[in-house]
Amino acid sequence: MFITNQLQYSITIQIQYYMLLLKVAAKGHHKAMEKVAYAMLFGDYMGQNIPKAKELFEKLAIEGSPKAQTALGFLYAAGLGVNSSQAKALVYYTFGALGGNLVAHMILGYRYWGGVGVPQSCESALTHYRLVANQGEKLLDVSLTGGSAVQRIRLLDEVENPGSTSGMLEEDLIQYYQFLAEKGDVQAQVMWPADALCVIALCQYLKTLSFVALSLLLLVVFVLQGNPVGQSGLGMAYLYGRGVPVNYELALKYFQKAAEQGWVDGQLQLGTMYYNGIGVKRDYKQALKFFNLASQAGHILAFYNLAQMHATGTGVMRSCHTAVELFKNVCERGRWSERLMTAYGSFKEGDMDAALVQYLLLAEQGYEVAQSNVAFILDQKGSQIFSENETYPRALLHWTRAAAQGYTVARIKLGDYHFYGYGTDVDYETAVIHYRLASEQQHSAQAMFNLGYMHEKGLGIKQDIHLAKRFYDMAAEASPDAQVPVFLALCKLGLVYALQYLQDLNVSISSLLLSA
């Protein structure tokens, strides 16, 4: 009950805050106008009003607001309240980026990476993504565990398999409240037990403040218990000389102990010491090894360091492609990723228009899960923002972008759209191409089954009963869920084969009789 009251109180405070912002914005205060315009765009604590948001953004853009210029770019890119124009979108995004807006840089990074409205250019994408990632503390929350989790719930999974994402959401909420609790949020501390934070909070304190005897004593107790967090904390003490003399040898020792137990911060610090040659001979191969280990646990700084190494060719062959993918990963853990949770909240509350607009902006920033969620909402005709004849073509666009980032279901959806003619002409040959890609690259049982059906019917591909059976068998092997539909398909295929055999036999007998 206390938590519920706290949440209600928080919402009330937010509403009052935005009401106050409205009054200040009415007096021409730029920052207030920006916040109000974005709130109207997304429907945050006030009614969604895209035309009014557009009007405010236009006023602010003329006066040189990078945030407003970026927002106008988004409106033109998505066709919200204006006729869609990728050329105008690019102009506004460019102005926003020149003004230092990080969202604009991220959008441009994705556009150059994917060739969206611009010629594909890995180097240009690298420039924009690296600039965003280099903002460090302005962009990211990096704690001992490497940063807060990014919630990536797929609406398609949520609807088709109720409860399948509940565990993921629960974990994301835990991470989210941990993040807030570490920042001193009282409400979050109520929801996140103090005992679960004690070690992390202590070590975070030790990383940022001067050591005192009690803090060191507690760390030593943790180390004697073999606690990897304590080992890493003591390593930090010796590395920076906080409360003890600087001793790189001991710092290295305790980081190694923590790393051996899989503690991500110990792995990161070892990588840093080898990379910079602190207390050890500089060794980029060792640095690469430990940064890779830390990145497997999702540490943001590990991704960042690996990105820098691949971008500059330090210790590895230079790879623009790998560097961009790593920097993109870093950028997608920025504070704007919290909008994923807000968008999901709007979806769960049934406010599809607000959810769609929020996912649309994240999709522009290159979040694959947002692209697939936009496509899903449009596919289900859940939003009233776009006219009915626009929904399938727009969904097709976002399925295409999600598929290009490796989402298997999106690739199959592309096959389905071309098979049935959703948002495009019926094109069996193109459908086959997408199903084949999903089959060969991602081993999708659904794609294999679809290829079997198309071989069986001769749709967009040569009719071949033997190949049809082969793909059906592959689908059954790839997924237990496919075994029942495959069994039924094979039964039907066997019947068709038998009928065809009898028909051929009858033709042969008739021919023999006539020749006799």
Please write the tens of the pLDDT for every residue from 472-493.
Answer: 889 988 888 877 887 787 888 7
Instruction: Provide the pLDDT confidence category of residue 512 given band limits of 50, 70 and 90.
Output: low
**CA pair distance 232, 145, nearest whole angstrom:** 11
**Residue 190: exposure state from Cβ atoms within 10 A (0-12, 13-18, ≥19):** middle
Residues 77, 186 share a domain: no
Q: Which residue has the higher pLDDT, 498 or 92?
A: 92
Instruction: Provide the pLDDT confidence category of residue 231 given band limits of 50, 70 and 90.
Output: confident
273, 298, 323 — which closes off a domain? 298
Distance, C-alpha 8 to centroid of its chain: 30
Residues 73, 159 share a domain: no
CATH number for the domain that contains residue 285 = 1.25.40.10
Q: Which two tokens stand for residue 384?
A: 């009233």
CB 141 within 8 A of CB 179: yes
Residue 207 pLDDT > 60 = no
Please write the tens of the pLDDT for every residue from 36-83.
Answer: 889 999 988 788 999 999 999 999 999 999 999 999 999 999 999 999
Does residue 144 fall inside a structural domain? no
Residue 200 pLDDT > 70 = no
CB 78 within 8 A of CB 360: yes
Residues 238, 160 share a domain: yes
**CA pair distance 19, 292, nearest whole angstrom:** 48
CB 86 within 8 A of CB 94: no
Q: Would you give the end-to-end CA distance of the chain in angstroms?
A: 94
Residue 397 pLDDT > 60 = yes
Residues 93, 21 share a domain: yes
CB 448 within 8 A of CB 425: no
DSSP class of residue 277?
T
Residues 56, 178 share a domain: no
Mean pLDDT lowest for which of 170-184, 213-227, 332-346? 170-184
Specify the pLDDT at position 156: 85
CA angle 12, 16, 20 (to 5 degrees): 170
Residue 434 pLDDT > 80 = yes
- Give the residue numbers spanning the domain of 464: 412-435+443-516
Does residue 422 fall inside a structural domain? yes
Q: Which residues touch 180 (CB under 8 Å, ≥6 apart)? A: 187, 188, 192
Residues 276, 174 share a domain: yes
Does residue 472 fall inside a structural domain? yes
Q: Whole-prediction pTM value?
A: 0.83
Residues 181, 52 share a domain: no
Does residue 248 fall inside a structural domain? yes
Residues 167, 276 share a domain: yes
In terms of phi and psi (left: phi > 0; alpha: psi -120 to 50; beta: otherwise), the region of 64 is left
65, 100, 135 — which closes off a domain? 100
Q: Which two tokens stand for residue 289?
A: 């090894």
**CA pair distance 265, 293, nearest whole angstrom:** 10
Specify the pLDDT at position 318: 96
Name the domain count of the chain.
3
Residues 268, 170 share a domain: yes
Does residue 468 fall inside a structural domain? yes
